[in-house]
Amino acid sequence: MIERYETAAMRDIWSEENKYRTWLDVELAVCHAWAEEGLIPIEAYESIRKKAFFDIDRIKEVESKVHHDVIAFVSCVAASVGEWGRFIHLGLTSSDVLDTASALLLRQSLGIILEELAILYEEVLKKAFLYKYTPCIGRTHGVHAEPMSFGLKLLNWHSQLKRSEERLILAKNQISCGKISGAVGTYAHCPPSIEEKACAFLGLKPAPISNQILQRDRHAFLILSLALLGSTLENIAQEIRHLQRTEVLEVMEPFASGQRGSSAMPHKRNPILCERICGMARLLRGYALSAMENVALWHERDISHSSVERIIWPDVFHILHYMIALLINIVGHMEVNAEKMIKNIELTKGLIFSQRVLLALVEKGMDRDEAYEVVQKYALECWNEKGTFKDMLTSDPIVSSLLSAEELQGFFDVSYYLRFVDDIFDRFK
DSSP symbols for 341-402: HHHHHTTTTTGGGHHHHHHHHHHTT--HHHHHHHHHHHHHHHHTTSS-HHHHHHH-HHHHHH
64, 67, 141, 401: the active-site residue: 141
Give the three-state DSSP class for 21: helix
Q: Annotated catalytic, 262?
A: yes
Of the candidates 257, 240, 238, 258, the residue with the CA atom closest to the CA atom of residue 249: 240
Give the whole-angstrom CA distance, residue 383 versus residue 298.
62
Of the candidates 116, 131, 154, 135, the residue with the CA atom closest to the CA atom of residue 8: 116
Please give the torsion angle defined by the CA atoms of residues 114, 116, 119 and 121, in that order, rounded to the nearest 10 degrees.
-60
What is the b/e burial string over 196-205, where b = at least 16 CB atoms within 10 angstroms of the residue's CB? Answer: ebbbebbebe
Q: Annotated catalytic, 231?
A: no
The count of other CB atoms within 10 Å of the CB of residue 397 is 7
Give the residue ranges of DSSP H helices in 190-264: 192-202, 217-243
Dihedral sign for Cα 298, 299, 301, 302, please.
negative
Amino acid at 42: I
Give the whole-angstrom CA distance, residue 165 versus residue 121.
10
Give the three-state DSSP class for 114: helix
Contact 206, 178 (CB under 8 A): yes
What is the b/e burial string over 90-129, where b = at least 16 CB atoms within 10 angstroms of the residue's CB? Answer: ebbbbbbbbbbbbbbbbbbbbebbeebbeebbebbbebbe
Contact 26, 97 (CB under 8 A): yes
Tell me the backbone φ, ψ of residue 385, rounded to 5 degrees. 60, 45
Angle at 138 between CA 133 and CA 142, to 5 degrees: 155
15, 68, 189, 262: the active-site residue: 262
Kindly report the length of the chain: 429
Angle at 50 between CA 48 and CA 51, to 5 degrees: 65
Of the candidates 126, 208, 109, 192, the residue with the CA atom closest to the CA atom of residue 161: 126
The residues annotated as belonging to the active site are 141, 262
